[in-house]
Each structure stands twice: as structure tokens, then as C-alpha cells.
Amino acid sequence: MSKIEFSSEEKALLTDKLKRYLADELDQEVGQFEAGFLLDFISSEIGAYYYNRGLNDAQAVIAQRLDDINDAIYEIEMPTELSR
């Protein structure tokens, strides 16, 4: 897995969200710099868990779609003496 990186626009948005959460929920005022470090920590130490969960969810969707395709192919299969 490659390192999780955000564009400067994404990082600014996420940093603002962290600052707002800390202020609203924990009554902790932090600056942009501190919130940026917290975001970096979350990305490097916790991000992989979310990333892997997303991959697992994507695999489940793909597996279901492949099952649907296999079922559709089976439905149009023509009978022969050697049919399964």
C-alpha cells in the first residue's frame, strides 16, 4: 500500500473538520499546525484500517457482481448432450 496523501485542498478541509470537532466535542482549541499533525498521525497510523475496510467492501461488491454475471451466463447457456 502506498502512503495515504491528500491534496492541499483536501488537507485544508480535513484539518478544518478536525479543528471543529475538537472544539465542539472536546472543548479543545487547536491551531492549523496541530490539527495538521493530528491528521498526519491519523493517516499514517489509522488510515490503513479504513483503507483495507474499503478494499474489502469493494471486493464484496465485485464478487456479487461476478456471481450475477455467472448466473446470467448460465441462464442463456444452450443445452447440449454434454451440458453440466
Residue pLDDT, tens place only, 19-71: 999 999 999 999 999 999 999 999 999 999 999 999 999 999 999 999 999 99
What is the per-residue pLDDT for 65?
98
CB 16 within 8 A of CB 33: no
Q: What band does 2 get if pLDDT is binned at 50, 70 and 90?
A: confident
Rounded to an integer, the average pLDDT of 65-82 is 93
Distance CA 44, CA 60 (A): 25
Q: What band does 81 get if pLDDT is binned at 50, 70 and 90?
A: confident
What is the per-residue pLDDT for 83?
65
